[in-house]
Homo-oligomer: A and B are copies of this chain.
Amino acid sequence: MASEATASGCTEGLGRPPPPPAVELFKYSKRVLLKSILGRADGGMEFVGERVVVGGWVKSCEEKRKPNLPAQALQPPPPAVVKDTSCTEFLVSRLHILRPIVMFFTGCGCSAVSAGKQDSLAKPLPGIGLLRISDGSCAANLQIFVDSSLIPLSEISTIGTSILVEGVIAKQEASGKQVLELKVEKVFYVGSVDAKNYAISNGKLSVASLRAYPHLCPRTTKVACITRIRNSLSYAAHQFFQSNSFLHVHMPILTSTNLRINGNMLEVATPLSPVEDQAAKTLGAVKAAIKENCERIEELKRSNGNKATLIAALQDLHQANELALQLEQKQNSSLMKVVREDFSRTFFGRQIYLTNSAGLHLESYACSLGSVYSLGPTFQAECSLPTKDLAESWKVEVELAFAELEDAINCAEDCLRYLCQYIMENCRTDLKFMSKTIDNQCLDRIKSTISSNFVRITYKEVMEVLKKLNSIDLIASVLIESSFRFLADEIYQQPVIIYEYPKDLKPFFMRIRDDGETVSAFDIIVPKLMTKNFLSESVFANVKQVAVDVGNLIQGGQKEERLDKITARMKERCLAEKEIEWYLDLRRHGTVEHSGFRIGFEEMVMFITGLDDIRDAIPFPRAKGSADI
């Protein structure tokens, strides 16, 4: 039905015939996705001769004079100017030595691009354009062949131009190998680019410089790959937990609970407007009147009473509404200066924070429904390394009832392996691009994670192992917890699960073991995560005293289910019970052994892709002093 509608809309719409059935039509857009062509095993060769409509954004353009025109009939053609985002991106980022050379020849990065652009604008020539376009559905670009008789090439040659065209898929000989090419016959739509002001067309292509344009950077091959990988990771997580009978529960962002477990929290402060105090009463009265009026109207309607009365009543209602509306607008018009200690005058009537972990609330659902997970943003107001900490970061959090430490570890290990497996199967081309441009080890890292049995070792044993290293590393290991990465990187060269930590290194709710000194907590340390400035970063991590370790991808453990024990631990940490009476209720009433863990979602993206700056692992990163777009 819907597809019929689309088809008819097709002919009604821009008057294009529906594309041939052989290539799968994207159901909710009058085009085919490039991945439906280029994603095939044969790279789409099976579709040669098919007529299709495709849409996308120009990644590169090569202009040529028409071969069939006699040379002397032309002014000397402009030199074929190659503008290839992903290519330059690739070369410069891989061979940094190239940058100065590029700079030398082009002034700045690829500004030859815009130079060439103005050039072709200046004297448009009869010719052909070889464009490479991307629609975001896959890493590969499609080469399209446009004759300037269809549209002036200057209108479509700028990188970033959007274009919707119909054409026939053809085979093309290019430097000895077959490539697919779309011979364009109709141009339905072009969205041009204001080249002078288009930030990402003029060579600023390092991931770092792209950060200034979070709304445009997904148009680059690199950020598009990261986005597709992130999408797959999140869906894979859902698949894993749903197939294992976990319930996805949506946990609140707004919370009154602040135990400062992960450092400072961001705070909501929405004051009531000063007007409200006076206006509120009036408004209340009016609303009451409205409600009364409504009930009266309902009665009149039920009793099919006198219509004149009813209409009169409805008109009263109308006036009352307008008055109420004015009052509300007045009320919402201005925000007052608020003395922050007076929370009675704020929207929630008390101090409210943005959660830095769904864990506590998640426990209450685990202690009712068994096995639950959440996947959502968490918040922290930390003042540390921007490459390592975000104010808004996503977490997978998991909680299991009737489960001990070992159950949580097994679940975390299986989950990590499943995510890697899923990415290998579903993001091959994206991974290839990442390993070409970001980290050539990422594929090996993922493969070995899938195949290896993770090492399981207690914190005590870790210390033994480190003692065996030379004294420097020992001291380092004492000073810098991050030396745990030695285990994953150097000693075992695979993920390492460290468990049974000294109680002071972990939150109060971790289950205390019989020795009274250690808790049933665990971390999973993965190799080669955030290798950039590892030592200095680790020191800052130490300074920050945030539990998250460099290379530390997953943290978890068995929670303290015994009321007396958990209240004792809270006293040790000077935490007020009244803060979380509700949390202690879970221990007072029908408590159970329960365990859980959390996966840093950005860290997971970094582990898969090899990115070394957390800001590149999330759209619109938020950090101290930066939340502009």
Contacts and interface: CB of A to CB of B under 8 A. Distances in A.
A471 to B, nearest CB: 7
B290 A245 contact: no
Interface in A194-215: 194, 197-198, 214-215
Interface stretch (A85-93, A101-109, A292-300, A564-572): A292-300
Nearest to A335: B340
A314 B267 CA distance: 38
Interface string A399-418: 01111101110110110000
A628 to B, nearest CB: 6
A19 interface: no
Interface stretch (A376-384, A503-511, A514-522): A376-384
A74 B523 CA distance: 57
A614 interface: no
Interface string A270-289: 11000000000000000100
A561 B318 CA distance: 37
Nearest to A192: B590
Majority DSSP secondary structure for residues of A touching B: mixed
A492 interface: no
Interface stretch (A27-35, A42-50, A166-174, A436-444): A27-35
A339 B545 CA distance: 31
A62 interface: no
A551 B228 CA distance: 35
B543 A408 contact: no
Contacts of A297: 535
As for how many copies of this chain the complex holds, the number is 2
A352 B628 CA distance: 9
Contacts of A290: 536, 539-540, 543
Contacts of A264: 270, 332
Contact of A453 (B1, B234, B248): B1
A555 to B, nearest CB: 17
A408 to B, nearest CB: 7
Contacts of A352: 627
B590 A57 contact: yes
Contact of A256 (B338, B341, B627): B627
Contact of A622 (B252, B338, B622): B252
B540 A287 contact: yes
Contact of A406 (B5, B367, B453): B5
A619 B472 contact: no
A491 interface: no
A585 B535 contact: no
A307 B35 CA distance: 57
Contacts of A325: 543, 545
B620 A252 contact: yes
Interface in A581-629: 582-583, 585-586, 588-593, 601, 618-620, 622, 624-629
B255 A627 contact: yes
Nearest to A543: B324
Contacts of A219: 368, 590
Given A298-B535, A364-B216, A247 B227 contact: yes
Interface residues of A, number: 163
Nearest to A268: B266
A29 B407 contact: yes
A230 B256 CA distance: 24
Interface stretch (A64-72, A110-118, A140-148, A157-165): A157-165
A314 B476 contact: yes
A340 B618 CA distance: 30
Given A253-B377, A331-B383, A479-B314, A624 B28 contact: no
A364 B218 contact: yes
A369 B230 CA distance: 13
A383 B394 CA distance: 30
A373 to B, nearest CB: 10
A2 B413 contact: yes
A475 B321 CA distance: 14
Nearest to A339: B337
Interface stretch (A76-84, A123-131, A179-187, A342-350): A342-350
Contacts of A63: none
B370 A585 contact: no
Given A13-B404, A414-B2, A627-B255, A137 B589 contact: no
A365 B335 contact: no
Contacts of A589: 160, 191, 193-194, 197-198, 216
Contacts of A5: 406, 410
A539 B228 CA distance: 44
A532 interface: no
B228 A247 contact: yes
A215 B28 contact: no
27 contacts: A2-B411, A26-B371, A27-B411, A28-B371, A28-B410, A29-B403, A58-B590, A136-B368, A137-B245, A162-B592, A198-B589, A216-B589, A227-B249, A230-B250, A266-B270, A266-B347, A290-B536, A290-B540, A291-B536, A321-B542, A321-B543, A325-B543, A347-B391, A348-B391, A348-B624, A348-B626, A376-B376
Given A160-B590, A218-B365, 14 more contacts: A28-B407, A31-B402, A162-B590, A162-B592, A193-B589, A194-B589, A197-B588, A198-B588, A216-B585, A219-B368, A227-B247, A252-B619, A324-B543, A348-B624
